[in-house]
Chain A
């Protein structure tokens, strides 16, 4: 049984508060043959400037260090693409560094930028990420991305992540889903919800109106996961600008407090050792004392079904931001729904539900902007952007897109940006006649989870309107 030391469990300390000043995104698509990567990054930075009524050149004049997220640089014969982008954005001679943590690259990039400001090294830093996944066909892309799994002992068995997640899904379904068909339907509901939300998002690649039946009839990739259970493969860019308090309030009227923490876990799920469940602020040992009786097979943590990395990221981040109960203290979340099953697993890791009870977050309707059961606002809406399943997974940009979406929601500018017919048109799309405003009313605080591999790296980012800071949150 692994036990963590006090030093390991120290709540991360920032030397000064850090604010998100602005953020921006390009459109996301499966392919952009007409655009070079640099053009997508320019679009993201330009939107970030526009959001705070600055010219890009003026915004750039505040930036002191640059953090770039790009994962699959082996795809297109361009190592160190960070330098190309840095050059095309005209940010030389500032220092820059590339960040690479698989699917969590976007979140990790923000983590680095926030630490640079928190430490005092920089007063303003850029976190910008992108991915170019159209240089290869989807099957090659899946193959090449899974080079991030364990080459010694795992990738020879199957060069696709869906296979790894499917094994977890099977185990989770047996233990916590009690092998019920209803559990499979709950998974499918997530795919329906997120594609449905993406339908109203002009940036999104995969908006679709589908039903649970469509998901259950889509081709099996690796049982029980089907094609519509999986996230997208995308091209695009997103960025966030962070700054210290003085600089942030000089740059914009309403910067948001930002907290980021990270966790990791073994690259191979099979290597996981048993440990005590690291408890979130609202949990006690009692919370899990009879877990094995309620869910036989669920007595070992993290077993094959939990993401310790996500749990640890929240363990630190909640205490930094003063979050006690995520369902009470947060207004919305953007989760890393790589697959419908990992979305359910994450509800438990991040404490939206206790371990074992993730499915009830969907089944209660709490995860919707409007609860379909009651017609009232959902308790804690998840992924109104459409998430990875509906909006995009342009790996290096994903974690940053999530934070941009939280920012728009907390600023109350979701409709202004997503409902802008001109923006739809500029992306070559028509704003749907039945476009729906997915603004979460009165959103003040949000959480984004950026997640890699089968849970190897996870970051938790919490955005807080400084006027609605939580007691215990450091500022």
Chain B
């Protein structure tokens, strides 16, 4: 350390930021259905036909209010993409190694990101058929689906 830098102070700081997350009326209906009925809901724009999962109030292309156009999606789908997380980090939801996959559910137009468990990470393949495994207790986030697992 140089003489000039010897007296440079370092002050420890911490910005606490507790906050509430509002899922909104539509997001809440989606989460409640996952929690209480173990059913995955989307909304469908009748004008352009797109099925949105997670659901939203307005189709961004047609600007139609689609908040009441609920459709039930299959709890099963297929892997369209994946990676294996191999580093541990206190902010990760699982211990490494775990599989982070894009999964397209039956009846959906676009995939969702989720965790793929119950499988050797090295044997995951694109096109693999997977099904949702729901959390036992209330989580009230996307992790209300605890993970996906291979169908067989």
Contact = CB atoms under 8 A, between A and B. Distances in A.
Interface stretch (B15-23, B74-82, B110-118, B129-137): B15-23
Nearest to A31: B22
Interface in B24-68: 24-27, 56-63
Contacts, number: 64
Contact of A136 (B18, B57, B60, B61): B18
Contacts of A140: 18
Given A33-B22, A36-B22, A134-B22, A147 B60 contact: no
A462 B15 CA distance: 39
Interface string B1-26: 00000000000000101111111111
A90 B62 CA distance: 9
B21 A135 contact: yes
Contact of B58 (A34, A39, A136, A144): A39
Given A39-B57, A135-B21, A136-B18, A46 B63 contact: yes
A87 B54 CA distance: 14
Contact of A76 (B19, B25, B61): B19
B63 A134 contact: no
- Chain A interface size, as a band, is 20 to 34
Q: Which of A57, A89, A144 has the most CB of B within 10 A?
A: A57
Contacts of B20: 134-136
Given A34-B24, A36-B27, A135 B63 contact: no
Interface in A395-412: none
A35 B24 contact: yes
B26 A36 contact: yes
A32 B22 contact: yes
Contact of B60 (A33, A77, A89): A89
Given A36-B27, A42-B63, A88 B21 contact: no
Interface string A45-57: 0100000000111
A38 interface: yes
Contact of B63 (A35, A55, A77, A147): A55
A12 to B, nearest CB: 35
Contact of A135 (B15, B19, B24): B19
Interface in A15-49: 32-36, 38-39, 42, 46
B60 A87 contact: yes
Interface in A129-177: 134-136, 140, 144, 147
Contacts of B22: 32-36, 134-135
A288 interface: no
B64 to A, nearest CB: 9
A183 interface: no
A34 B25 contact: yes
Contacts of B61: 57, 90
B46 to A, nearest CB: 15
A156 to B, nearest CB: 9
A345 B96 CA distance: 59
A144 B27 CA distance: 27
B56 A38 contact: yes
Q: Which of B20, B26, B61 has the most CB of A within 10 A?
A: B20
Nearest to B26: A36
Nearest to B58: A42
A90 B45 CA distance: 14
B60 to A, nearest CB: 3
A74 interface: yes
A77 B21 contact: yes
A275 to B, nearest CB: 34
Contacts of B59: 90
Contacts of B15: 74, 144, 147
A230 B21 CA distance: 26
A77 B19 contact: yes
Given A38-B56, A46-B63, A90-B60, A136 B24 contact: no
Given A34-B25, A35-B25, 7 more contacts: A34-B22, A34-B24, A36-B57, A39-B58, A57-B62, A77-B17, A90-B63
Interface of B: 15, 17-27, 56-63
5 contacts: A35-B25, A36-B22, A42-B63, A90-B63, A134-B20
The 5 lowest CB-CB distance pairs between A and B, nearest first, are: A90-B60, A56-B63, A36-B24, A135-B19, A34-B25
